[in-house]
């Protein structure tokens, strides 16, 4: 909005535009001037780029922001001609109450405020105020009422001026308005505002002035800041960092400093991101490793379970039935193949049940008299043998249909027991002179475990052998003999002692065992010696046999004579009679190169135990260990 003073004067009076100071001869031309130069073009400050403001705002801006330029004689005066609204009663009190244009009175203003403001001088309180334009001619005097609104003024000649913001594009024509102004009588009494101002007041934060316009308040505060800067002189303005306590003399240094903060923050964020990424990768790697380890352990557990099942099946611990069940299945297989009639099947089955009930071996796989036949054979033949030592008379027991594949340990026990039964010193060993059947041997073994013998071995078999096809070894043979009151001894040949994984020391030990009974001073022993010593139980991985003699050949080598439970009764019967040949004895001979297992254990019988010795052996069997041969 623009404010202007349009007054009707005599013909010789020129009208002056209060915005730009241009002289216009008539009111109509003034209206055209205002429309073209000020309304159509925007109101702007002639001294700075400020534009788009109202007349009052522009007036205040020029006389505050450009006070020195307004007073300077070098500036064209007509560009700075603005009326100043002061009344005839401009007393110090009234002046302080009104304040500057665009603001309301300040209570703390003193009488010095009556001085020149924006290049305008105030008259005394007893004189009427008048304003001179600076274009070289005296401007019309205005009679102002101090209580009158600054939006409406009157000329000193009684003609009314246009109020601020009057729309020049009203429906009345310019001629009608001009004639009405000419016909109005001179008014010496000015109108007062009918209602008080209702604008929102904005106080200055640095003084007590109040303003109705924010823009004017901004200009006013800028003046305060300029005055403050001039008063402080050389004191530098400091710019504080919003991120730390440092301050800087210029904004450029502050910007560089803040950018360093932001760059450090970005680096920290990147480090956190990389750290979190590395942590995530580590967690992922650990999780994958744990999953892989779990899979590996599960695979190992599965493989171990399969191997354990195979071992259980191999050693007869898979609950697939024992001697009786295997014998019945073999008989049923013979019937299904047509090799046995059903009547024969039932007859044999009844005999088996009777033998199992008695606990005595039926003797179907036994071959007796082999040791005597061998002694006669070596006396007739065997010219390549220098010395031969044989054990006491021993029966051979072959594996039958009910124990084939797992009963070798039980059959070797029967062989040793058959030899003991033929000796007077061992007749009271607790079996009543009868050879027990395999199920009965299993029962005797469980009885030995209950007495406290070999608790580790008992736990390995879960304290149960009957009804299973479990293999037994040297420790079980030792426990059986100890339970029967027989003194036994275990020797362990834990590693090979000759080239090619052979055990020559085992052969020497067997020779000493059989040859020690025939030491007769200086006399040479006979070529063939049948001793009164029991045979030797020989155990290695997967199988066991019985040593019944040893040969010493002309070249000094030794050869063991062994009863194997895997040999059939028919092959063993070929050793009976006087028609024995070298080929018949061949399957009994085992030279050094024939025994190449990594480890061998032997069990020998050395007499009868007293009850006290038996208890000591039971106590010592809790940590049963075989004697190692170096």
Q: What is the DSSP letter of 165?
A: T
Q: How many CB atoms lie within 10 A of CB 579?
A: 9
End-to-end CA distance of the chain: 126
- Residue 220 a catalytic site member: no
Evaluate whether 407 touches 548 at the Cβ level (below 8 Å): no
Rg (CA), the chain: 68
535, 415 in Cβ contact below 8 A? yes
HSE (side-chain half, CA atoms, 13 Å) at 430: 14
62, 45 in Cβ contact below 8 A? yes
Closest to 402 in 3D by CA, of 346, 458, 355: 355
Question: In a 3-state reduction of DSSP, which class is residue 319?
Answer: coil
Asked if 408 is an active-site residue, the reply is yes
Residue 543 annotated to the active site: yes
CA-to-CA dists, residue 154 to 89, 148, 161, 186, angstroms:
16, 10, 5, 10
Instruction: Please state, in angstroms and as integers, the Cα–Cα distance from residue 474 to each residue in 3, 180, 256, 322, following that order.
Output: 131, 148, 91, 21
Q: Is 607 exposed, middle or buried (0-12, 13-18, 19+ CB in 10 A)?
A: exposed
Number of DSSP helices (H) and strands (E) in the chain, helices first: 18, 18
Q: What is the DSSP letter of 145?
A: -
Q: Which of 7, 408, 559, 567 is catalytic?
A: 408
Helix residue ranges, H only, 153-250 = 174-183, 214-232
Side-chain-side CA neighbours of residue 545 (13 Å) = 18
| CB-CB contact of 318 with 471 (8 Å) | no
Handedness of CA 416, 421, 427, 429 (dihedral sign): positive
CA distances from 90 to 107, 158, 211, 560 (A): 16, 21, 21, 152
Contacts 24+ apart (CB under 8 A), 221-227: 222/65, 223/64, 223/65
Task: Give me the phi and psi of 563, to 5 degrees please.
Answer: -90, 125
Closest CA to 535 of 525, 524, 544, 526: 544
SS3 31: helix
Query: What tokens does 23 get?
Result: 């002289």
- Per the CB < 8 A criterion, the answer to whether 63 and 117 are in contact is yes
Annotated catalytic residue within 90, 213, 395, 564: 564
Catalytic residue among 543, 571, 587, 597: 543
d(CA 568, CA 112): 147
Here the tokens at position 409 are 């340990």
3-class SS of residue 590: strand
Query: Which residues are designated catalytic?
Result: 408, 543, 564
């Amino acid at each position: 909005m623009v404010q202007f003073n349009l007054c009707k004067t005599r013909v010789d009076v020129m009208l002056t535009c209060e915005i730009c100071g241009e002289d216009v001869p008539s009111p109509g031309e003034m209206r055209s001037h205002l429309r073209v130069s000020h309304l159509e073009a925007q109101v702007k400050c002639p001294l700075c780029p400020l534009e788009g403001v109202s007349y009052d705002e522009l007036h205040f801006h020029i006389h505050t922001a450009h006070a020195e330029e307004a007073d300077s004689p070098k500036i064209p005066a007509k560009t700075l001609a603005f009326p100043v609204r002061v009344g005839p009663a401009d007393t110090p009190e009234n002046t302080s109450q009104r304040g500057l244009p665009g603001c309301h009175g300040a209570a703390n203003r003193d009488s010095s405020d009556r001085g020149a403001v924006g290049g305008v001088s105030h008259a005394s309180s007893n004189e009427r105020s008048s304003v001179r334009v600076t274009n070289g001619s005296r401007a019309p005097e205005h009679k102002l009422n101090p209580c009158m609104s600054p939006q409406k003024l009157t000329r000193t000649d009684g003609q009314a001026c246009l109020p601020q913001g009057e729309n020049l594009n009203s429906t009345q024509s310019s001629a009608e308005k001009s004639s009405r102004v000419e016909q109005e009588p001179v008014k010496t009494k000015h109108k007062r505002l009918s209602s008080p101002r209702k604008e929102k007041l904005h106080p200055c934060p640095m003084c007590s002035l109040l303003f109705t316009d924010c823009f004017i308040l901004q200009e006013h505060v800028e003046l305060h800041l300029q005055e403050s800067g001039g008063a402080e002189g050389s004191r530098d303005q400091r710019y504080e960092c919003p991120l730390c306590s440092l301050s800087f003399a210029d904004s450029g240094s502050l910007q560089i400093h803040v950018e360093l903060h932001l760059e450090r923050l970005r680096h920290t964020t990147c480090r956190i991101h990389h750290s979190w990424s590395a942590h995530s990768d580590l967690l992922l790697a650990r999780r994958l490793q744990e999953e892989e380890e779990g899979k590996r352990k599960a695979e190992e557990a599965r493989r171990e379970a399969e191997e354990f099942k195979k071992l259980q099946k191999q050693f007869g611990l898979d609950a697939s039935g024992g001697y009786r069940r295997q014998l019945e299945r073999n008989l049923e297989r013979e019937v299904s193949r047509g090799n046995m009639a059903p009547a024969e099947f039932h007859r044999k089955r009844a005999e088996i049940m009777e033998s199992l009930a008695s606990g005595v071996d039926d003797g179907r796989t036994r071959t007796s008299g082999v040791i005597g036949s061998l002694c006669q054979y070596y006396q007739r033949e065997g010219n390549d043998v220098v010395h031969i030592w044989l054990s006491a008379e021993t029966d051979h027991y072959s594996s039958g249909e009910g124990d084939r594949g797992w009963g070798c340990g039980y059959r070797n026990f029967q062989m040793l027991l058959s030899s003991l039964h033929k000796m007077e010193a061992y007749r009271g060993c607790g079996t009543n002179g009868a050879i027990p059947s395999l199920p009965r041997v299993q029962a005797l073994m469980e009885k030995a475990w209950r007495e406290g013998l070999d608790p580790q071995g008992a736990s390995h078999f879960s304290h149960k052998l009957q009804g299973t096809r479990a293999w037994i070894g040297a420790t079980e043979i030792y426990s059986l003999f100890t339970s029967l009151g027989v003194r036994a001894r275990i020797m362990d040949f834990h590693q090979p002692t000759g080239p090619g994984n052979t055990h020559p020391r085992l052969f020497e030990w067997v020779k000493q065992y059989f040859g020690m009974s025939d030491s007769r001073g200086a006399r040479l022993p006979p070529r063939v010696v049948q001793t009164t010593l029991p045979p030797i139980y020989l155990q290695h991985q997967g199988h066991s046999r019985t040593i019944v003699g040893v040969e010493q050949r002309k070249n000094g080598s030794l050869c063991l004579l062994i009863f194997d439970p895997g040999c059939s009764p028919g092959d063993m019967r070929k050793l009976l009679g006087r028609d024995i040949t070298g080929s018949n004895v061949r399957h009994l001979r085992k030279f050094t190169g024939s025994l190449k297992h990594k480890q061998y254990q032997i069990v020998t019988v050395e007499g009868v135990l007293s009850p006290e010795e038996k208890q000591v052996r039971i106590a010592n069997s809790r940590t049963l260990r075989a004697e190692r041969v170096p």
